[in-house]
Structure 1
Amino acid sequence: MLRGGCLIIAVIALVIAAVGGFFAVGWYGSGPLEEDTPFVVPSGSSLTAIAGQLEEQGAIGSADSFLLRAKLLGSSDPVQAGEFLLPAGASSSAILEMFQTGDVIRRFITIPEGMPSILVHEKLMAESLLTGEVPVPPEGSILPNTYDFERGEARADVVKRMSEAMDKTLAELWEARGSDIAVKTPQEAVILASIVEKETGIASERGMVAGLYSNRVKTGMMLQADPTIIYPITKGKPLGRRIRQSEISAINDYNTYSMVGMPKGPITNPGRESIAAVLNPDKTDAIFMVADGTGGHAFAVTLEQHNANVEKWFALRRQRGEM
C-alpha cells in the first residue's frame, strides 16, 4: 500500500513538473516571430491591450496565456510607450522585459539653423512615419534643432515641441540680454536674428554681424540685407538667380533696401546662437560689410574702407570669371 501511495505521489509530482515545465517554456522559450519586427506601444496602453496587439502581429501565440504568465512569472514594472524592435524568436519573457526596461527606437528629424518655415513644413510632410496635416508654421516660431519622434506621431505634436523649444530658448536668452542692444522686444530679437542667420557664412562671425546690424538699427540706417529682398518672393527658398534691380527697389514690408528699420517679421527660423548674438552682440563700430571670398566678410567702419573692400571682392570675382 505504501508503495502504491509513493507511486501516486511520484506521478502527481511528475505531472506538476511537466505542467510547470510547459508553463515555463511558454514564457521563457522561443516565440513565433520569424524575423525582427517593429512594435509600437502607444502611450497609456494597458498590458491587456498590448497582449492583444502582440497576438495580432504573431509575436506571441495567445494573449490570454501571455497575460497569465506575465502575472505569475513576469515583473510588475510599468511598460514604456514607444517603438521597439522585437527580435526573431523573442520569448514572451524577453518581450515584456524589453517593454519595461529596453531601449525605445528613437527616430529623429533635424531642422538646420536658418531653415525657413516653408521648408520645415515640406520636411515634416515628407516624413512618412508622421501622421496628419499641419499648416506652415509662423516664420521664426521653430527652434532649429534635432527632435525625436515616434512612429505614427502627429505632425502637429512635433511642431508644438519645436515651437515650445523656441519659446523656452527665447525666454532664457532674453533674460540674459545685454544692456545696450538694438531690439526692444523678444519678437524684434527673432527678426534681427533671422537676418543675422541668413547673412552669416562663418559661425565665428555671428557676433560681429549682429554688432554691425545693431549699429545700423540704432543709427537709423537701412539694413540693406539681401535676404530680405528674396523673402517676399520665395518665402525663404533659394532664389536660384541673381537679384533683379526691380526687386532691390521694390517697396514691401520686408525689403530693407527700400525701408529703414527691420522687416515686419522674421525671414527664417534663426538658431539659438544667432539669437544670442543679437542679444549680446560684439562691440564694434563697423557699419559696412562685403564678402571676402572665403565664406566670410570684410568689415568696415567708413564708406571709404568699405569701397576698398568692395573693389577687392570685385577683383577676386573677375579673377574667378564670375564678372
Structure 2
Amino acid sequence: MTSRTRQLIVIGSVIVLALAIVFVTQIIIVRALDNPDTTTGESVYFTVDQGESVDSIADRLKTDGLIRSPAYFRFRVRIAGLGSDIIAGRYRIDSTMSTTQIIHLITSREAALAQEVQVRFVEGWRTEQYVEALTNAHVIASADDFMTATREQKWNDKFAFLHTRPSGVALEGYLFPDTYNFRLDSSPEDVLTTLLNTFQERVHPETITETDQMGLTLHQVITIASIIEREAVLPEERPIIASVYYNRIEQGMPLQADPTVQFELGRPGNWWPELTPDDIQQNGRYNTYLNPDLPPGPICNPGLASIEAALRPAQTNYLYFVARGDGSHAFAVTAEEHQQNVDKYVKGH
C-alpha cells in the first residue's frame, strides 16, 4: 500500500468520524430540545386560540414550562408544514410530553378529540351557568345550541323520570351538579345525556314513588328542591325551609321566594341579582310573590341534599323565615313573629 493510499484512508476515516460525531451531536441536541422542560408528572391545561400564530403558541408553551425551545417548536411545525393544521381548543398536556408529542396533539384531529377536560357544576347553578363553564372549557361550541337542546321533548321519552316534565320546559333541575370529565368539542346531546344519566343514578328510583305518596309529581318536588337550594346555606336548615314551603302550599299562601324572582330577572354577568321592592312587583311566571302556585319549573339544578329535604321536610308549623345575615335563618309561625324577626335582622331594630 502506497503512502498516498494510506493518506486517503486516513483522511476518509477522519471525515467519516467527523460526520459521525456531527450526526450523533445533532441527535443529542435534537433529543435535548425535544425532551420536556420539566418532568413533574403533572398535567397542565393549555388553550390554543382560534387563529393564533405558531410563534405565539411556541412562546406560551415555553412560558408554561412545557417545551425547552420555542425556536425548535417553530422549526418542527414549519418543516412539517403543520402550521395550518393546528386545532384551536383546550388541551391537557402532561409535563412529560415531548415537543413532538405536543405538536401531534394540537395538529391531530383524532388526538384533539380524545382529550378530556374536567368541569365542575356547583349545586344551585342555573343551566346558563353550566353553559358558561362548558364553553369556557371548550367542551361545547355553541351556547345557543345547548340551550335549545335542553328544551327538546325527546328527553322525556329517553328518561322515565322526565315523564312529568311539561312540554316546552327546559331540563333545569335535572342536570345533576357534580364534577365531570368531558371530551373537547362534545355535542350538546352527549353532555346532556351524561348529566341526565347521573341524575338517574344518584336520585333513587323510589323517589318517584315517594312523590306519588306526597300527592306531587317529581317535577314539582324538584322545583321545590331548587328553591330550597337557592335559599339554604346551612345543611341542617334545608328540611326546615322545605317545611315552610309545604306549609304555605297547604294553606294556599304564595311561596314568596326571592330566588324565583331572581331566576326570572337574571342576566349574563348577574344571574342572581339582588332584589329591590320594585322587582318583586313585576309580573312574571316565576314571581311567587304575585302567583300563588309553584313556578313552571325548577329555577336551578339542586344537589341531592336539597332533593332529599324536599322529599322529607321537617315537621313544623313555620310559615315564615328571614335571613339573619350569618347564613342562618329565623323562622316564625305567625306574621307578627316574622315581623319582629324582620325588624331585628333586616331593619336592625
TM-score by length of 2: 0.57
Corresponding residue of 1:224: 256
Residue 113 in 1 paired to residue 101 in 2? Answer: no
Q: Distance in 2 between matches of 1:186 and 1:286?
A: 24
RMSD: 3.4
Give the Cα–Cα distance (whole angstroms) in 2 for the partners of residues 257 and 198 of structure 1. 16
Q: Confirm whether residue 212 of structure 1 aligns to residue 222 of structure 2.
A: no
1:235/1:190 CA distance change after superposition, 3 Å: farther
Report the CA distance shift for 1:127/1:229 in structure 2 as closer, same or farther (over 3 A): same
CA distance in 2, matches of 1:86, 1:176: 50
Q: Aligned equivalents of 1:156 and 1:276: distance in 2?
A: 28
Is residue 296 of structure 1 aligned with residue 328 of structure 2? yes
| AA in 2 matched with 1:118 | E
CA distance change for structure 1 residues 252 and 152 in 2, over 3 Å: closer, same or farther? closer
- Is residue 114–residue 198 contact of structure 1 (8 Å, CA) maintained in 2? yes
**Match in the other structure for 1:198:** 230
- The offset of 1:156, in angstroms, is 3.7
Aligned match of 1:145 in 168, 178, 198?
178
Match of residue 186 from structure 1: 218
User: Aligned partner of 1:115: which letter?
Assistant: W
Paired residue for 1:34? 35
What is the Cα deviation at residue 185 of structure 1? Answer: 0.5
Letter in 2 for 1:143: F
- Distance, in Å, in 2 between the alignment partners of 1:224 and 1:233 is 15
The residue type paired with residue 220 of structure 2 is E
Counterpart contact for 1:116–1:235, Cα < 8 Å? no
Contact 1:33–1:87 at 8 Å: present in 2 too? no
Q: Secondary structure, in 3 states, of the residue corresponding to 1:277?
A: helix
Contact 2:322-2:331 at 8 Å conserved across structures: yes
Task: Verify the 8 A CA contact 2:262 2:275 in the aligned structure 1.
Answer: no
Equivalent residue number for residue 287 of structure 1? 319
Helix, strand or coil for the counterpart of 2:344? helix
Give, in whole Å, the separation in 1 of the partners of 2:236 and 2:209.
20
| Residue equivalent to 2:135 | 125
- In the alignment, the residues of structure 1 paired with residue 204 and residue 246 of structure 2 have an alpha-carbon distance, to the nearest angstrom, of 20
Is 2:146 the partner of 1:135?
A: yes
Question: Residue 86 and residue 298 in structure 1: after superposition, are their counterparts in 2 closer, same or farther (change >3 A)?
Answer: closer
Q: CA shift at 1:131, angstroms?
A: 4.6
Q: Work out the CA distance in 1 between the residues paired with 2:256 and 2:336.
A: 18
1:273 aligns with 2:305: yes
Structure 1 residues 171 and 88 mapped into 2: Cα distance closer, same or farther (>3 Å)? closer
The CA distance in 2 between the partners of 1:243 and 1:190, in whole Å, is 27
Q: Partner of 1:166 in structure 2? A: 199
Checking the alignment, whether the CA contact within 8 Å between 1:202 and 1:295 is kept in structure 2 is yes
Match of 2:68 in 1: none
1:47-126 residue pairs with structure 2 within 5 A? Answer: 85=94, 87=96, 107-126=117-136
Q: Structure 1 residues 105 and 86, CA, compared in 2 at 3 Å: closer, same or farther?
A: farther
Q: Which moved more, 1:276-285 or 1:147-156?
A: 147-156
Structure 2 distance, partners of 1:113, 1:232, is 18
Q: Letter of the aligned partner of 1:140 in structure 2? A: G
Aligned position for 1:314 = 346
Contact persistence 1:254–1:264 (CA under 8 A): yes
How many residue pairs match? The answer is 230
For 1:294 and 1:176, locate their aligned partners in 2 and report how far apart those are by CA, in whole Å.
37
Residue 258 of structure 1 is matched in structure 2 by 290
Contact 1:178–1:280 under 8 Å retained in 2: no
Deviations 1:253-303 (A, max 9, x none): 111100112001111111111111101111111111011122110011122
SS at structure 2 position matched to 1:243: coil
The DSSP-based 3-state class of the residue aligned with 2:210 is coil
Distance in 2 of aligned mates of 1:234 and 1:194: 15
In the TM superposition, what is the alpha-carbon distance from 1:154 to its structure 2 partner? 4.0
Over residues 177-202 of structure 1, what are the superposed CA-to-partner deviations in whole Å (9 max), with x where a residue is unaligned? Answer: 37864x61011111111111111122
Q: What per-residue deviation string (whole Å, max 9, x for no partner) do you get for residues 227-247 of structure 1?
A: 1122222269445444242x3
Tell me the secondary structure at the aligned position of residue 261 of structure 1. Answer: coil
Deviation digits for residues 184-222 of structure 1 (CA, Å, limit 9, x no counterpart):
101111111111111112222111101111111122111
Normalised by the size of structure 1, how large is the TM-score?
A: 0.61
